[in-house]
Amino acid sequence: MIRTSRGCVARAIGTAALAALATACASTGAVPKPFPMPGSQGSQGSRGSEGGSSRAFDGYALAGTALSLRGAPYRNGGSDPAGFDCSGFTLYVFAQYGVSLPRDVREQYQWGKSVKPEELTAGDLIFFTTTEPGASHVAIAVGGDEFVHAPSSAGVVRVEHLSSKYWAPRFLGAKRVN
């Protein structure tokens, strides 16, 4: 009798968890609303090196949103949970907080205030030189030595270390979007 009760409870918990995951990951491919675009009214992105030191959003909450998307597939040109490329991932996550970013990595690199590596905090954008000179990959700092990103056509959204043998030499810079 006890074994049956435990089995029913475990099955019920598993079913509830599966239902929650299925709901959280469902995507119609539609652009989330609101989805501010650069230059539109209500945009909170800041260009260049100007901008205050206070944030219009909680960087830790933003990093949490980014982390909740771990496992989402890579999709070239993708900018929703059905699939992301690197700049589509950052665009989507920041849009959840009413912050509009440009679509292109090189344009995102022009936004915000430069941040020294030792001053990185959750929610900062981290840029790398991977496929060509200049900014060609972007990620979101989650704290410490870790960042979350949509890495390549062979991967999924995942967490990696800035100090890794692959990423450390490719680090280009970081920006704080206010």
Average predicted confidence (pLDDT) for the chain: 77
Residues 133, 151: Cα–Cα separation, whole Å: 17
Amino acid found at 65: T
What is the CATH architecture of 40-176? Answer: Alpha-Beta Complex (3.90)
Residues 161, 18: Cα–Cα separation, whole Å: 30
Domain boundaries, the chain: 40-176
Is 149 part of the annotated catalytic residue set?
A: yes
Q: Which of 8, 25, 137, 161 is catalytic?
A: 137
Q: Which of 8, 25, 86, 161 is catalytic?
A: 86
pLDDT tens digits, residue range 29-76? 333 333 333 333 333 444 443 333 345 679 999 999 999 999 999 999
Strands (E), the chain: 79-80, 83-84, 113-115, 125-128, 137-143, 146-149, 158-161, 171-176
Is 86 part of the annotated catalytic residue set?
A: yes
SS3 at position 138: strand
Chain centroid, CA 15 distance in Å:
28
